Amino acid sequence: MTQLALIILAAGKGTRMKSDLPKVLHPVAGAPLVVHAMLAVEALEPAATIVVAGHGADLVERAAHGHDPDARIVLQAEQRGTAHAVDRARGALEQFDGDVIVLYGDTPFIRPETMTEMLDARRGGADVVVLGFEAEQPGKYGRLVTNGDVLERIVEAKDASAEELAITLCNSGVICADRATLFDLIAQVGDDNAAGEYYLTDIIGLASGAGMRCAVVTCPEEETLGINSRAELARAEAIWQARRRHEAMENGATLTAPDTVFFAHDTHIGADVLIEPHVIFGPGVTVENGATLRAFSHLEGCHVSDGAVIGPYARLRPDAEIGPDARIGNFVEIKKAVIGEGAKVNHLSYIGDAEIGAGANIGAGTITCNYDGVLKHETRIGAGAFIGSNTALVAPVEVGEGAVVAAGSTITADVPGGGLAIARSRQDTKPGQGARLREALLARKAADT
C-alpha cells in the first residue's frame, strides 16, 4: 500500500485571538487545535508527520511532540502564503515516496473517513484531490471551478469575478497529492495576486494545464470549520461536545442532561454508564461499564471500574484508580490513590497517595496527611478496615486488614491487622458546669448592652 505523510500548517499567530499563545495551541476538549489535526489522520497511520511552525514554534513543537514524539517540526519564519508554508516541508520529505495530505492546525473537525475518501480518490486515478464543501455563505472562501467531475482551478474570493463569486462549492484548503507531484507543482507557483502571496490553491490550475486530473471530495461545511477568534473557539467547543455526547449515548451511555456534560478529547465511556448533570471530564479518563457518575463531579486522569459510583460533588484527580463497585461520595477528593473493590469513601474526605483495601470503610472527614512540606508519603489501609469519622492519618502509615480506628483519632503509627487504635485527647466532663457557664455568659452579654 502507498505510504501516507501528513503536513500540518501551524505557523500563524492568530491576531484575532488576542493572545500571546499561538492560535493552534488554543484548546478544544482539553487538547490543542494542532493535536486535533494530528488525531484526524492518526487512524490512517501516516508514515511521517510534518508540522510547519512559525510564531511560538518552540511551544508548538512541545505540543506536537507531546502527542507524537516522532513528528518533525520545520520553521516558516516569514509567512508568505500557504504554498510557501508547504514548501518548508520539502526537505523533511525528500526521501519519502507516497501520498501527502496537507491539513491546517486550526481546523479541528476533519474526520478520518473524509481523509480516507480523499486517499481513495487519489489512488483511483486523480493526481490532486481537494476537499470542498457547499457553503451557506461563501463570502471570503476560495471557489472551486469545476467542469463535470473535474476540478479546473481554485479562485480566491479577492481575485474572483462576479460569475465565480456565485459559485457555492468552496475550498477547505485540504489537499492530497503524491509527494513528487505536490512539490513539483509548488515550485511553479508565483505571487502575482492581490495579496502578493504564494497560494497553494494555484497548483490546481498548474496541474490542469499540465494535463493532470484534479478531483473534489466534499464534506459538510461544519467539518471544515477554522478557528480564528475566541468566539469561533467557543463555537468549535460546542460543536465538538455535541458530537461527543451523541457518540457516548449511541455507544450505550445514559446522559440525563447531555448539554451539561463536558468531555475531554480522550474520554472513554463504557456501556451502561449513567452520567448525571454537570459532570466534567479532564484529559485521561476511562469509565468502565455500569459505573454511575453523579451530578457535579469532576474527573481527570483517572480510571473508574465497573459498577463504581462517583459523587455527587466528587473530585477524582490524576492517578486515582477506583475499583469495581467502590463508592466515592459527596465532597470527596481522591488523588494518586487506589480504592479497592467495594471500598467506601462516602463523605467529606481527602485520600491522596494512598492504597485502600477491598471493602474498607473510610468515615466522614478522614484525611490522609500525605505531604510534610517537602515530600509526599503513602498511606496503606488494609481490606475490611474501618476508619472512624474525622480521622487524620499521618503518612507514612499503615492500617492492617480488619483494623478499626476510632473516630477523631490522629494516627501516627502503624495499626496491626485486627487492632483497635484510639488516638485522641481524653474527654473531661464536669457535671453542672455547662449551665453555670451559660448563665455567666448571658449575664456578661446583658451587662454589655
3-state helix/strand/coil string of 77-136: CCCCCHHHHHHCCCHHHCCCCEEEEEEECCCCCCCHHHHHHHHHHHHCCCCEEEEEEECC
Show binding-site residues for Mg(2+): 106, 228
Give CA angle at 107 (101, 108), nearest 5°: 100
The mean per-residue pLDDT over the stretch 202-229 comes to: 93
Q: Is the pLDDT of residue 1 over 70?
A: no
Q: Is the pLDDT of residue 131 over 80?
A: yes
347 as an active site residue: the answer is yes
User: What was the pLDDT predicted at 69?
Assistant: 96
Among 130-144, 222-236, 397-411, top mean pLDDT goes to: 397-411
Q: Out of 11-15, 219-223, 366-370, 376-380, which region has the weakest mean confidence (pLDDT)?
A: 11-15
User: What was the pLDDT predicted at 108?
Assistant: 85
Q: Are 348 and 332 in contact (CB under 8 A)?
A: yes
Helix (H) or strand (E) holding 441: helix 433-448
Show binding-site residues: 9-12, 23, 76, 81-82, 104-106, 142, 156, 171, 228, 317, 335, 350, 361, 364, 370-371, 389, 407, 424
Quick check: helix, strand or coil at residue 291?
A: coil
Q: Is the pLDDT of residue 206 over 80?
A: yes
Domains of the chain (ranges plus CATH)? 3-224 (3.90.550.10), 230-421 (2.160.10.10)
- The bridge status of strand 392-394 relative to strand 410-411 is parallel
| Amino acid, single-letter form, for residue 408 | G
The mean per-residue pLDDT over the stretch 423-428 comes to: 90
For residues 50 and 60, give the distance between their C-alpha atoms in angstroms, rounded to a whole number: 12
The proportion of the chain whose per-residue pLDDT surpasses 70, expressed as a percent, equals 100
Q: Are 421 and 415 in contact (CB under 8 A)?
A: yes
Per-residue pLDDT band at 427 (split at 50, 70, 90): confident
Helix 202-209 and helix 179-186: axis angle, to 10°? Answer: 100
Q: Is the pLDDT of residue 217 over 90?
A: yes
* Annotated catalytic residue within 65, 67, 278, 347: 347
Closest to 230 measured CA to CA, from 18, 30, 12: 18
Show binding-site residues for UDP-N-acetyl-alpha-D-glucosamine: 9-12, 23, 76, 81-82, 104-106, 142, 156, 171, 228, 317, 335, 350, 361
Phi, psi of 353 (to 5 degrees): 50, 60
Residues 6+ apart with CB under 8 A from 95: none
What would the pLDDT profile of 44-94 be if each residue is shown by its tens digit?
Answer: 999 999 999 999 999 999 999 999 999 999 999 888 899 999 999 999 999
Q: Which grid coordinates belong to 10?
A: 501551524
Show binding-site residues for acetyl-CoA: 364, 370-371, 389, 407, 424
Global pTM reads: 0.88
Quick check: helix, strand or coil at residue 219?
A: coil
User: What was the pLDDT predicted at 281?
Assistant: 98
What would the pLDDT profile of 156-199 be if each residue is shown by its tens digit?
Answer: 888 889 999 999 999 999 999 999 999 999 999 998 877 788 98
User: What was the pLDDT predicted at 51?
Assistant: 97
Mean pLDDT of the chain: 95
What would the pLDDT profile of 26-40 be if each residue is shown by its tens digit?
Answer: 999 999 999 999 998
